Amino acid sequence: MTRRLAALVWVAIAAAVWSGFFDLYVSRGAREYLQLSAESELGRAPRPSMTTVMAEARHAGAVAASSWALVVIAAGWGTIALVGKRREG
């Protein structure tokens, strides 16, 4: 496997990780909205704004997903560099 192909594989893995984490956070945001809405109907909390709750979930999801994707990219490229050095040395 060439270095370029290995790098593309790691980028694809990082994209899948990003998508998974982003989806997880957005799903949590939807559940949080439903929970707040139920509490509102019971008179325990004010009516939530779906726009606000989902915007916060998207932001948190983008931050967490990007962080984990960068970790995967760094690990992948570090692995490629180490394997390249072992082959050369």
Amino acid at 85: K
- Give the pLDDT of the chain (89 residues) as one tens digit per residue: 788 899 999 999 999 999 999 999 999 999 999 999 999 999 999 999 999 999 999 999 999 999 999 999 999 999 999 887 777 65
pTM for this predicted structure:
0.84
Dihedral of CA atoms 20, 21, 22, 25 in degrees, nearest 10, equals 120
48 secondary structure, DSSP code:
P
